[in-house]
Each structure stands twice: as structure tokens, then as C-alpha cells.
Structure 1
């Protein structure tokens, strides 16, 4: 039986190390170097050595420590060490090889200013990039620390008890409502908002969420998700560590190169729960060769939780069809609506239940009305919606119109939420905080509707296109275009452009393709015809090569950034 009354998250880690010292805590999975298993006792013992290293480098309680480290087995005790000395961890994305050093440095500088970073804990390979940040006065960065180069083996492990006493002295002064971590919301680097989450917000949320998931001692989480994203950090990392069940951590970069790795690890480790963004369902279904996974099975997997709004019915069906032969159960196809500002989950499909699918009248849907389609409905007038599940007991969800009036079920509007695990503020951003936190309600900017106590998320409010008096959700158009041959699935961005002379918006699409330019005309014609099938007229189609689209930190193509980029490019071409 778990004790949920510990004051801080590090207290819980220490408690688990005492109660189950030799149990598996983290299985660090590396397809090249092999796996490393961390027990609770092993994690704490190594973390205590790192606490000595950090305090020797002048890191203090309440200092914000940005951690920029790749998939490394020592990442975990380093993260633990930051928490054990009462400092505040903030995991940031390690730059990929295609990101220019100046761009990364500029983004990190903006984040340092907005989030108030005190220290950067990173790898020696980034030394030339990050060192200049210390000299920028407005950043107020105290220094750069390279923990992986520390000779922790020479730190006096015999003083383990002394290090532990020092940590306990610090933790005894912590309040359950004091900040534990900074979780950055999705967005491009430098523009992300830092969400402050307290010990209590995280533990109380995980207590409730784990109950909804039906977590037991037989569960094991498997994840390739990056830990700088709330789905990876809260759901796939903190939840199992707080609940005392193992988590298997796969290198995100290895998964992208070998998506079958997730299938292999679930099969070999007996994984029971995994979270995936919607694009991963299509990515794995399209990229994995059946011959490469024939020897594996997914019988142990009881929940595959789709946590990327909006959820695509087609993605679920494709995924199930692909992996049913490995023992995947249809009831495992689950869903969740989550936000960094709510710690994580707001809604969740009940365990043992498949996420509910709903077919609606497409024409009425464009007028913000949900009418369930009948068997006699014309197929070209049907839009499929997938529920994100039922609202968690400690949360409240309502749908509002532009005048802040609450809407009834089956009416589309903005989703606003209340929760006991709601964030307190965006760090150092009172104006942004006040713009979304009003009267105890968080205005999410997401559009959706309620029906039969289930929440359906359909897109972002600021992405909505008003075309000829109809509300067009760009995700719908992107889905249709992604089905066109020679279009790279999931690599499509649709947006609206205001046309004053027409009194409406026109619809534009950026589409990644690998066809030769002499075939562009035919492909554009096929895209236009596909959109006409859902009564959409595309004004401009921009065909671009693979990897042209810029992604946000959540791994999805950034609509605003790519829109501005293509329009700027078009303007430069014209002038």
C-alpha cells in the first residue's frame, strides 16, 4: 500500500529505496550499448554522490537547473540529485544535428531569460555553444556544469550517510506547495512557457490518475517519449517512479530510426502501459516491416494511450490492424487529454475500455453543431471523432462560446478547466498567466465538445479557419491530404490567410513530398480533388521537400512557424 502523505517527491524516492531497495526502478534501454537496470537503492546511492558534486559547484536550494543531456544511464541519478538538494529541475531538449548552433543558443538564451535559469547541466560537446550564455547579463545564468565528466567514483562513498543527512535537512524545510520542477509547454524553443509545478500538484495528480488507470504492482511502463515533454516526464517517468513500478526508457532518436524498437521492448520486458502521440500510430504502422516483428508479442500490453489532440480514428484503426496479429487487444486502444498546465491528464478512457468513436454530420460540424450520423448518412458527409475519455474526478470541464457563455452538450467551443492539480503561474510571465487563468478556470485555447460525460478535442482555437461562413478545422484537411499518394503522411500543414477583398479566408497547404518537380502539377491536382471530396477548395498548395517543415518541441509540425516561413519565402520570390 502506497503512502501518499510524504511531503515531497524526493521523500517518496527515499521511502521507496528503503522499502524495496533491490526492485527495478528504471530500465535504461539502449539498442546499441545494451540495457542498464537501476534499482531504487542504486539510483539513490548514485544520486547522493551527484548531490555532493552539485553542492561543491555551488548549486543551492531553489536554484533552477536546466538539464540538457542525451539518453544516458546517469541522467536519472543526476535528475534525482537536483531534487534531493531542493533545486528545481527543468529538462530541455538536446539539439539535433540539423539545428544550427546559433539558433539553438538564441532559443536557449530566450528561455533562460523568460524561465529564470540559474544553472545549465549539460555535456561537454555543447561547451562552445552554451558558454557564451554566461556572459549575457540579462540571462543571470550562474554557470555551466558538466556532471557526466565528474569523477564521482572518487567522491567518498563512505560518507553516503552524511550526504543523505544533508539532503534530509534540506527536504525538511520544503513545503508540499513549494515548486518541484519547471515543465515547459509545447512550442518552439525560446517561446515555450515555463509551468511551475509543486510537489503536491504532481503527487496528488498521480495518485488520482494512477487510480483511474488501475495501476498495480504488476504494471510496467515502456516509453520512448522525450523527458522534456509532459507526456514523457509526468506520465512515463514520474508516475511509475512515484507509484513504485518500473519504467523502461528508450532513446527517442533510436526509436525514430527503428520504430520497431518499441514493439521489441514491450515484448521482452512485458510492458503493460505506453503513451503515444497520434502521429506515432501512423509512423509505426507505415514504417515497421511485419517480418521484423514476427517474433514479438503484445499480449502484456493493456493500455496504449493516445495523448495528442485531436485523436484520429483512422490512426487507431491502422495501428490495430497492423499489430493485432501480435496479440494487441482492441480494448487497449485508450486515449487521454492532457496539458502541462494541469500537471498532466484532464480526461482519460477507463482501463479495459476502447476509446469511444463517434461519427457526426460534417456540414453541421462546420457550424459548431454536433449531430450524430445515422447509418443512412452519406459517407462523404461524415466526420469521425474519437473521445479523449471521461473527466478525472478532481477536474471540471466546460465548453464556452466567444462570449464566455457555457454551452450544452454537442455544442463546439473552447475547453476551459478547473483542477486541484492546476498550475499556479507561468514563471516570470504574469501577463500570460492572467490571460489564461481567470476566476480559477484555465482557458486552454483548445476546441471541443462534451457528450455523454466524454470529452472530444478537435483542434486549436487559434488554428480555426473561417471559410465562406464555415468553421474549418485544419486537422481535417490535413488528414485528407495525407491520404493522397506521394504525400508524406503527417507532414502537412494547413492554414488560413485573410483576404480582405474576398471578405473571408483562403485555405493554404504546405505539403512535404519526395516526387520530382515535373510531377508537381499532377500532385497538386490530386490534392485539390481530394479536398473537394469534403467540400474544401484549396487556394494555394506549397509542395516542399522532405524535412522542410519545422517541428515544435512536441514533435508536431509548428503551424504558425511554417506558415510564416512559407509566406516569407513567397514574398521574397515575388520581390
Structure 2
């Protein structure tokens, strides 16, 4: 039997389940449901799924945005012995015909014959019917409760997490019940989780691993209070996030780096005393490269509202390990490794330096309990401290494989090691990530990291935070070079574009010593991103005229 499901049920039916739960609907119509109430609803969903013919090992897809509907739906699928997959959600700009074709492709890949549909996507029912996709509205799933969970082994699939790649060529990470349990326990131990004290606050999307695993499944498993809003709520009014932490006395939150940069700017407009962030003990920063300056801006602005700077927890994670890989030590704040830029780029050595032009990287902590990490060169030879190479990880939380349109693909190689696709190094037990291997720009024998270029560009006034992307051009050839694509609200003003182009070029040259081939300034919403908000550097290349 799954330890994960056993614990979910034990938590919900015990004292903790009747005292803790999730609050949704903020800020207009907040509603609190205990984990016992979520579970009671989930048992009826599970009963309806079994009646509908869902069998152990079946893949159930979910398309919904309301956390209040998603929580009992995914738990109900697990109780029925099925796996869950959160489908990519269409936006106002999405071509629904293309989205429907992509969805059919994903459902075929995961071998799913059922979609659970919820708000605000109920109106897509005719689109699914037209494509012959069987679906049920979550609100209609209400049968006699399934009193005993369907037994599945630890090796059974619990979650099929769609990756952030092209929707035309989908790939799903297969997370087993054993993977899920191991990573949950590792994260619980690393953050010293206390269900009696902690309250989690999040706007993260539930179709992304950080939101689904970290800020729905984990609090559901251990019975931690959760305040959950949607990405639309956050993007519409970013200051809502710190407001909820203040109002609910949140102790744990998390977000990608860009969100901390955005909210720091918004907090500048607030008067002293409007917020109280003194309760926060963990503000996890992960899911994309961490910009030390963005973190410092967040802690500086938050200090006026009692934010403890020690609450910042820099982390490294990926769906292939369920969620977490490394966490920095709790309540120690951000630690930065400052290294010689020339040695890093030319010799792939990360030597400490206090000289001008040195590079700064956040220290991301040691591996979570149950995981190991190492650094190797391209030939697979183990590298020592401060030698830059490929990061590899292994352990109980590591997925056994991907599902692709061409069939299953294993993820690990000899010895059970997973190649993360990231380049980095070790400082003792602590991990440093330099960037994605496929994105590193190679010019004149130097490795130039796109994040350095992007940080320089976003430092220019008028460039939208989190919306600058460094693009490789003529990759792998002697003519390799790069361009910078940014978003700005001044994109339609010719003189402003000239100013931005000149300022960005100067900043980039100062940062990496190389002039970009071109700078492209676009209006807000133009830079291509994944459904979870990560920059799509390869797709952005199409925006550059060569």
C-alpha cells in the first residue's frame, strides 16, 4: 500500500485534519475548508470515478483553476488508485483549436481517457466534445463515498507532471508513490515543518511542480494550513501576495525569482505599517536562476514591514526529483559565492574573488535527505570542489522515466544517476547552479551564462522585471553570438527604444565583456514563456532578425 495515500487518509481523518485546512477565494470571498472536509469530498469523487470505470493505474487528467475544486479531485483520483495529470491551461490569447490538438496529443501520450473539468474552464466542454475527449465536470462527481482507498504499490504512478517544453512535443515526468513520499519527507525534514505552527501561502500554478507538489500535496499530506490563490490573482495585483502573508500570519511561501523582483517594486508604493511580514520564516526562491540583487531588493523593501532577511531560502529543484533537490539551511538567509569571472568562463573553475567584475551565485544548500548530487565532466569523470561541470542526481525521489509521444524513456544512466541538464559546481556539500547547458553561450572559448546577460538587461530602467532573455545565435559554430530580447512599456516609442538599446548594450558589455549582436525591444506579453512562466530562450530566437 502507498505510504503517501495512507498518510493523506490518516491526516484527514485524525485530529489534525479537523483543525487545519485550506483557505481559497481570497480576497473577495474567502472560504476555509478543513482537510477532513476536503477528504470527505474526495471520497465521493473517488466513488464516482470507480463507478465511471476508472481502474488502478489509470491516468486521470485535470483541467481546472480553482484550488477548491482541484484539491478533492486529485485526492479522489489517488484514492481510486489512479494517477493525476494537470493539463496546461489555455489563456485569453490561446488558439483553442491548437490547444485542443495539443491536449489530444498529451492525453494519448499518457494513455488517459478521462478529463476532469472545473472552473473557470467549464466553457471548454464543447471543445472537448468536438475532439471526442471524455470528460466530467468535477462538481458532478458525487457518488457514494469510497470508504477504503484502492491499494496500489509504491511503484505505481501517482503524478504525471508535464514538463515546460513545447506543447507540440510534450513530455511527462512519471512520479511514483514512492518518489512522492521520499521527496515529501525530505522537504519536511529540511524545513523543520511544524503543522501546529506553520501556515503556507501561495499563488503558484497547480499545473507546475512547485505549486502542485509543494503547495497543495505537501500541506494536504501533513495537515498544514494553506492559503491558496491563483496566478491570475497574483499577476492582476502582485501586492496581494504579501498582503495574504500579513493577514494570515503566513510562515512559509515560495516563488520563482522574478516574482520577488516584481513584488519588491510594488512594496515601494506602500506606506510603513501597511503590512506585517514578521511571521515569515521561509521565503523559498527557486524554479529559475536566482538573482542575488533581486533577493536583496526584496529583503530591503520587506524590512520596512518586519520581514526577517533570514527567511530567504535559496533552493534548487526539478520535476524529475518530484520537486526539491537542494535547500539552503533554514533561517540563514541568502549566501552568495563570488567567483573570478575569467576563470569561470575560460577554465570552468569557480575560484573565490573580490575583484571588480566577479560573478555572484546563490548557494543552494546540500541535497535533501534521500538524494545525492555530483559534478562530472562531459566524459563522465567526477570533478572536485569548485570545478564546473554537469550536475547529476540520484535517490529515491528520482523519477524512473519520462512518457513521450514516442513511448517511455528512462531518465537515469549507469549507477542510477540522472543528468539534470544543468551546469554547476560544489562548494563542500552546497550546490551552485550556473545555468542550463543548452543555453550557455560560447564565444572565443568562453562560457557566457545567459542569466548574467539577462540580469544586466533588467537592471536598465524601463525593462520589465523577469522579461529579458539572452538568445544564442548560430549555436555551435565559429560565428556563435547572442542577442538580447526584452519587454518594455516604451516599445512603441522610437526614442525610448534607442535609449533602451544603448543602455542595455552598455550594461551587458560591463557585465560579460561582450557586445550583443542586437537588442530587441518588444511590448509587454511578447517574450515567449512556458505555461509555468519560465523563459523560452530557443523560441525567442525567432524574434531576432539576423
TM over 0.5: yes
Match of 1:370 among 347, 350, 375: 350
Say which SS state the counterpart of residue 418 (structure 2) adopts: strand
In structure 2, the partner of 1:433 is 409
Once the two structures are superposed, the pairs formed by residues 134-533 of structure 1 within 5 Å of their partners are 134=132, 143-148=134-139, 150=140, 152=142, 160=145, 163-164=146-147, 167-168=148-149, 170-171=150-151, 174-216=152-194, 217-291=196-270, 294-367=273-346, 368-374=348-354, 377=355, 379=356, 381-428=357-404, 433-434=409-410, 437-498=413-474, 503-515=478-490, 516-519=492-495, 520-533=497-510
Say which SS state the counterpart of residue 194 (structure 1) adopts: strand
State whether residues 446 and 461 of structure 1, in contact with CA within 8 Å, keep that contact through their aligned partners in structure 2. Answer: yes
1:130 aligns with 2:110: no
1:52 aligns with 2:47: yes
- The 3 A distance-change label for structure 1 pair 351 and 494 is same
Shift in Å, 1:499: 7.7
CA–CA separation in structure 2 for the residues paired with 1:512 and 1:267: 31
Shift in Å, 1:428: 4.8
- The 3 A distance-change label for structure 1 pair 422 and 435 is closer
Q: Kindly provide the CA deviation profile for residues 191-213 of structure 1, in whole angstroms up to 9, marking residues without a partner as x.
A: 34211112222112211221111
The structure number with the bigger radius of gyration is 1
- The 3 A distance-change label for structure 1 pair 72 and 356 is closer
Q: Kindly provide the CA deviation profile for residues 272-319 of structure 1, in whole angstroms up to 9, marking residues without a partner as x.
A: 111111111101112345427833211111010111332111011000
Q: Kindly provide the CA deviation profile for residues 392-449 of structure 1, in whole angstroms up to 9, marking residues without a partner as x.
A: 2321111111222111111111101111211111125688734754431100101111
CA–CA separation in structure 1 for the residues paired with 2:214 and 2:475: 43
CA–CA separation in structure 2 for the residues paired with 1:178 and 1:200: 8
Q: Which moved more, 1:423-432 or 1:248-257?
A: 423-432
Shift in Å, 1:147: 2.0
State whether residues 69 and 138 of structure 2, in contact with CA within 8 Å, keep that contact through their aligned partners in structure 1. Answer: no
State whether residues 189 and 553 of structure 1, in contact with CA within 8 Å, keep that contact through their aligned partners in structure 2. Answer: no
Shift in Å, 1:255: 0.9
Say which SS state the counterpart of residue 541 (structure 1) adopts: strand
CA–CA separation in structure 2 for the residues paired with 1:51 and 1:423: 26
- The 3 A distance-change label for structure 1 pair 357 and 241 is same
Q: Kindly provide the CA deviation profile for residues 42-76 of structure 1, in whole angstroms up to 9, marking residues without a partner as x.
A: 11222222223333333333221110011252322
State whether residues 370 and 412 of structure 1, in contact with CA within 8 Å, keep that contact through their aligned partners in structure 2. Answer: yes
- The 3 A distance-change label for structure 1 pair 176 and 262 is same
Match of 1:24 among 20, 26, 45: 20
CA–CA separation in structure 2 for the residues paired with 1:128 and 1:560: 34
State whether residues 71 and 216 of structure 2, in contact with CA within 8 Å, keep that contact through their aligned partners in structure 1. Answer: no
Where does structure 2 lack aligned partners over 5 or more consecutive residues?
none
State whether residues 122 and 147 of structure 1, in contact with CA within 8 Å, keep that contact through their aligned partners in structure 2. Answer: yes
CA–CA separation in structure 2 for the residues paired with 1:372 and 1:430: 45
Say which SS state the counterpart of residue 231 (structure 1) adopts: helix
Say which SS state the counterpart of residue 517 (structure 2) adopts: strand
In structure 2, the partner of 1:120 is 115
Match of 1:105 among 100, 103, 125: 100
TM-score between the two structures when normalised by the length of structure 2: 0.93
Q: Kindly provide the CA deviation profile for residues 471-520 of structure 1, in whole angstroms up to 9, marking residues without a partner as x.
A: 111110011011122222221111221289x8231111112122234223
CA–CA separation in structure 1 for the residues paired with 2:487 and 2:404: 38
CA–CA separation in structure 1 for the residues paired with 2:267 and 2:333: 24
State whether residues 375 and 382 of structure 2, in contact with CA within 8 Å, keep that contact through their aligned partners in structure 1. Answer: yes
State whether residues 27 and 249 of structure 1, in contact with CA within 8 Å, keep that contact through their aligned partners in structure 2. Answer: yes
Shift in Å, 1:532: 1.9
Once the two structures are superposed, the pairs formed by residues 46-85 of structure 1 within 5 Å of their partners are 46-85=41-80
Shift in Å, 1:221: 1.2
- The 3 A distance-change label for structure 1 pair 205 and 518 is closer
- The 3 A distance-change label for structure 1 pair 263 and 42 is same
CA RMSD, aligned part only? 2.1
CA–CA separation in structure 2 for the residues paired with 1:454 and 1:413: 15
Q: Which moved more, 1:38-47 or 1:407-416?
A: 38-47
Say which SS state the counterpart of residue 455 (structure 2) adopts: helix
- The 3 A distance-change label for structure 1 pair 342 and 435 is closer
Where does structure 1 lack aligned partners over 5 or more consecutive residues?
1-5, 135-140
State whether residues 400 and 411 of structure 2, in contact with CA within 8 Å, keep that contact through their aligned partners in structure 1. Answer: no
Shift in Å, 1:351: 1.2
CA–CA separation in structure 1 for the residues paired with 2:272 and 2:237: 11
Once the two structures are superposed, the pairs formed by residues 81-96 of structure 1 within 5 Å of their partners are 81-96=76-91
CA–CA separation in structure 1 for the residues paired with 2:534 and 2:299: 22
Q: Kindly provide the CA deviation profile for residues 89-122 of structure 1, in whole angstroms up to 9, marking residues without a partner as x.
A: 1112321111121221122122123222221111
In structure 2, the partner of 1:138 is none
CA–CA separation in structure 1 for the residues paired with 2:219 and 2:257: 22
In structure 2, the partner of 1:3 is none
